[in-house]
Structure 1
Amino acid sequence: MQSNGASPSPLLPPQPSRGSNGAAVVDKGVDFANYFCTYAFLYHQKEMLCDRVRMDAYYNAIFYNRDRFHGKTVLDVGTGSGILAIWCAQAGARKVYAVEATKMSLHARELVKANRVEDVVEVIEGSIEDIELPEKVDVIISEWMGYFLLRESMFDSVICARDRWLKPTGAMYPSHARMWLAPIRSGLGEQKKNDYDSAMQDWYGFLDETEAYYGVDMSVLTKPFEEEQRKYYMQTSLWNNLHPQQIIGTPVVIKEIDCLTAKVDDIIAVRSEFTTKIDTDTARLCGFAGWFDVHFRGSINEPATREVELTTAPSVDNSTHWGQQVFLLHPPVRVNHGETIKAAFSMSRSRENHRLMDVEFVCQQLQPSGKSSSPITSKFYIE
């Protein structure tokens, strides 16, 4: 997120321990169980394969730029069903190494064979950090993006693949990525607040009944229960496909990534200070929405013949399975046309699970008269 030079927030949690390459040190067995196994199921692959925005962008990026794949060696990181590898072969690639960490590799091999490209595409089961290739590659292609771009931390593996196997003149598809934030209006805040209130009301009833029937006072657990429910209902960001009319202010780019040069340290924590101007009539600022786009521009040595963009911005007709991440403010804030919202945003990896994110907003209302409101601090979790 731009303004990367902002000083680290003292409220950000400590980072997990990291290896010499900057990657978080995690138990590989636990990581596999919590993350990779999800992608071993065809139903999950089908969800992504049915995302027309996603599919069209990658298909067009390959076939609009067929000359950038013809005769080249390609590495597909996290091939899943193998469809990107198949397209690369169909575009004329000389060799495609399709790496997949899960047993989905078995389905990928069958799909490759069924589409008669097994002489070009080699499916390799294993993590990109551990596998070996017989040669460097001209192109790395990967669909690595998680919710709000960086959830799941798969880009770490793409960086590893790039540093190990991409030729100095090689290209990345996608080549660039951006993260966006914008102020929104939404009725979800009231719904979540009602859910939270209902949970607490049920808890107090539970306390009364437990003491009356079983003679045990459990009220000492009220505080941790309340914290648990508050995190779940009011501080966990929501997946949503917003309508463009729910955006009430100027969207802002808060992070730009060049996939050819980015390092893990560049994405471990994301910080930005930004301003956005309210461009609707009087409304309630209910929170912020985050989304991303990626661009397929090729490389300096071999720029794309035709650039392609994949965006997950709010849309009437072109929603994606990524949707947007919604960070709700409690309570919402009344804002007027022309007012400016000044905000500081920080996002870092969860200490408990490096594939999840902890988020903090500090926002302040700046009126045209020059008056400003007191800063509001909100913490969120992307799970």
Structure 2
Amino acid sequence: MGSSANGVAGDPAATSSGGRGVDKGVDFANYFCTYSFLYHQKEMLCDRVRMNAYYNAVFDNKDHFYGKTVLDVGTGSGILAIWAGQAGARKVYAVEATKMAEHARELVKANKLQNVVEVIEGSIEDVNLPEKVDVIISEWMGYFLLRESMFDSVIFARDHWLKPTGVMYPSNARMWLAPIRSRLADQKMNDYEGSMGGWRSFLDETRTYYGVDMSVLSKPFSEEQKKYYLQTSLWNNLHPNQVIGTAAIIKEIDCLTVTVNDILNVRASISSTITAEETRLCGFAGWFDVHFRGSKENPAQQEIELTTAPSENHGTHWGQQVFLLHPPICVGERDNLDINFSMARSKENHRLMETVNMDKGYGWFSGLHQF
């Protein structure tokens, strides 16, 4: 849920990101406009895990910022740009695609950094900077890391504006998957069955009162409701005891070298061992972490991690992405799961992701989860 600085249709980045043919107005209505509201910025600014990680990454590694040029991609409220200025940056270019840039500009001025931080309203693909930069900092991560496809614009910024010796903040990212138990599986099944019960009552009433038999639509209605209730992934903040097996990495990203093509699809074959006593496998949870390590040539003095893993006390606004199984499966301690995971960018909306097919070693689960 990073701030906005992405490209649109007509831009080279829009084509490379999978956003080919995306109308600029539609993209703004579906995505950018959300970030132009202060209430949405406040939600992210209140995420202490997020804020502490970025704050510590900057101020524990001032040598990466002091006297340097910095580019903040999708600055939002401008807080990362302000921190970079407070850490001693010579110049900070803060790029924001929405009218939030006006608020960021006022905030920079109120913190007496207007001579260091320059707020630029526009997409990063359209911006022409007067120089290349030593650091690119951005909070680009969406749900399960890649939703929203904002990372495309960070890659564009890196390829066009980062010096060969420059560093990325964050520098690395990982995606994780683990088996879970959750009452959500029962709840969503009950919701589906309740919806179908309502449909059957509707059929009876329409036949009785209006003389029209609509039962021919029962199958497409059922498929529609299955997709809505059973085949759509869910946001959740899980407790660690809901994770019932070992977590595995399904994707590792080096922000200095990754390409857009590398993140259009995520495929992984992983294994997980059940660590709980006899319980129900209700699905899988996906989360991510990012690291601030600098680069091999210019490592951070203090490596910082930001994790969105299930936490007892420190959940984040990203939570976890939950992919439910219907029906759940009984598993026992030390059972092994072999999981083939596949996720791709949605063809209908390049901001969204879809998972198709999970082979979990206990039979075949085939479905479409869009998020």
**TM-score after normalising by structure 1:** 0.91
- 2:59 counterpart residue number: 63
- 1:260 counterpart residue number: 256
Q: Does 1:312 align with 2:308?
A: yes
Map 1:73-84; keep pairs closer than 5 Å. Answer: 73-84=69-80
1:137 alignment partner AA: V
Moved over 3 A (4+): 18-23
Q: Does 1:379 align with 2:367?
A: yes
Which segment is superposed worse, 211-220 or 52-61? 211-220
Residues 27 and 318 (structure 1 numbering): CA distance in 2 closer, same or farther, change over 3 Å?
Answer: same
- The question of whether the paired residues in 1 share the 8 Å contact of 2:18 and 2:350 is answered with no
1:380 alignment partner AA: L
- 1:356 counterpart residue number: 352
Where 1:330 maps in the other structure, the secondary structure is strand
RMSD: 1.5
The separation in 2 between residues aligned to 1:41 and 1:20, in whole angstroms, is 28
1:165 alignment partner AA: W
Map 1:65-214; keep pairs closer than 5 Å. Answer: 65-214=61-210
Q: Deviations over 1:238-284 (max 9, x none)?
A: 11111111111110011000000000000000000111111111111
2:119 alignment partner AA: V
Of the three residues 222, 227, 239, the one matched with 1:226 is: 222
1:308 alignment partner AA: I
- 1:293 counterpart residue number: 289
- 1:271 counterpart residue number: 267
**Cα distance, 1:22 vs. partner?**
5.2
- The question of whether the paired residues in 2 share the 8 Å contact of 1:239 and 1:325 is answered with yes
2:367 alignment partner AA: K
The separation in 2 between residues aligned to 1:361 and 1:214, in whole angstroms, is 42
- The question of whether the paired residues in 2 share the 8 Å contact of 1:184 and 1:247 is answered with yes
- The question of whether the paired residues in 2 share the 8 Å contact of 1:297 and 1:304 is answered with yes
- The question of whether the paired residues in 2 share the 8 Å contact of 1:341 and 1:363 is answered with no
- The question of whether the paired residues in 2 share the 8 Å contact of 1:48 and 1:321 is answered with yes
**Cα distance, 1:357 vs. partner?**
1.1
Where 1:296 maps in the other structure, the secondary structure is strand
**Cα distance, 1:378 vs. partner?**
3.0
- 2:5 counterpart residue number: none
The separation in 1 between residues aligned to 2:132 and 2:59, in whole angstroms, is 23
Residues matched between the structures, number: 359
Unaligned runs of 5+ in 2: 1-12
**Cα distance, 1:198 vs. partner?**
0.6
**Cα distance, 1:351 vs. partner?**
1.2
Q: Percent identity?
A: 70
1:135 alignment partner AA: E
**Cα distance, 1:121 vs. partner?**
0.6
Which segment is superposed worse, 151-160 or 298-307? 298-307
**Cα distance, 1:19 vs. partner?**
6.8
- The question of whether the paired residues in 2 share the 8 Å contact of 1:171 and 1:298 is answered with yes
Q: Deviations over 1:143-178 (max 9, x none)?
A: 000000001111001001111111111100000000
The separation in 2 between residues aligned to 1:269 and 1:363, in whole angstroms, is 17
- The question of whether the paired residues in 1 share the 8 Å contact of 2:17 and 2:152 is answered with no
2:19 alignment partner AA: A
Residues 109 and 225 (structure 1 numbering): CA distance in 2 closer, same or farther, change over 3 Å?
Answer: same
- The question of whether the paired residues in 2 share the 8 Å contact of 1:100 and 1:123 is answered with yes
**Cα distance, 1:300 vs. partner?**
2.1
Where 2:241 maps in the other structure, the secondary structure is helix
**Cα distance, 1:318 vs. partner?**
1.1
2:137 alignment partner AA: I
- The question of whether the paired residues in 2 share the 8 Å contact of 1:343 and 1:361 is answered with no
The separation in 2 between residues aligned to 1:319 and 1:69, in whole angstroms, is 29
**Cα distance, 1:29 vs. partner?**
1.8
The separation in 2 between residues aligned to 1:356 and 1:220, in whole angstroms, is 32
Unaligned runs of 5+ in 1: 1-17, 366-372
Residues 23 and 135 (structure 1 numbering): CA distance in 2 closer, same or farther, change over 3 Å?
Answer: farther
- The question of whether the paired residues in 2 share the 8 Å contact of 1:151 and 1:382 is answered with no
**Cα distance, 1:229 vs. partner?**
1.1
Which segment is superposed worse, 237-246 or 356-365? 356-365
Q: Deviations over 1:81-124 (max 9, x none)?
A: 00000000000001111101111111111111111111111111
Of the three residues 316, 320, 332, the one matched with 1:336 is: 332
Q: Deviations over 1:4-30 (max 9, x none)?
A: xxxxxxxxxxxxxx9764543122221
The separation in 1 between residues aligned to 2:305 and 2:208, in whole angstroms, is 62
